[in-house]
Copies of this chain bind each other. A is one copy, B any other.
Amino acid sequence: MANSPITSPLKESDKEVTANALQATLVDLIDLSLIAKQAHWNVVGSHFRSVHLQLDELVSAARGFTDDVAERANAIGVSPNGKAKTVADTSGLPEYPDNWQADTATIAAIVDILARVIERIRARIDETDKSDLVTQDLLIEIAAELEKQHWMWQAQQA
Cross-chain pairs A/B with CB under 8 angstroms, 13 sampled: A1-B44, A6-B151, A6-B154, A9-B119, A34-B82, A38-B80, A44-B155, A44-B158, A45-B156, A47-B47, A52-B152, A81-B99, A84-B88
Contact partner of A152 (CB less than 8 A), chosen from B45, B49, B118, is B49
Could you give, for residues 127-141 of chain A, a 1 whenever the CB lies within 8 Å of some chain B CB and a 0 otherwise? 000000110111011
- Which residues on A are within 8 Å of B, measured CB to CB? 1, 4-7, 9, 30-31, 34-35, 37-38, 41-54, 66, 70-77, 79-85, 87-89, 91, 95-96, 98-102, 104, 115, 118-119, 122, 125, 133-134, 136-138, 140-141, 143-144, 147-148, 150-152, 154-158
A138 to chain B, nearest CB (A): 7
Q: Which residues of B contact A125 (CB under 8 A)?
A: 133
Q: Which residues of B contact A6 (CB under 8 A)?
A: 44, 100, 151, 154-155, 158
Majority SS of interface residues in chain A? helix
A158 to chain B, nearest CB (A): 3
Taken together, the copies of this chain in the complex come to 12
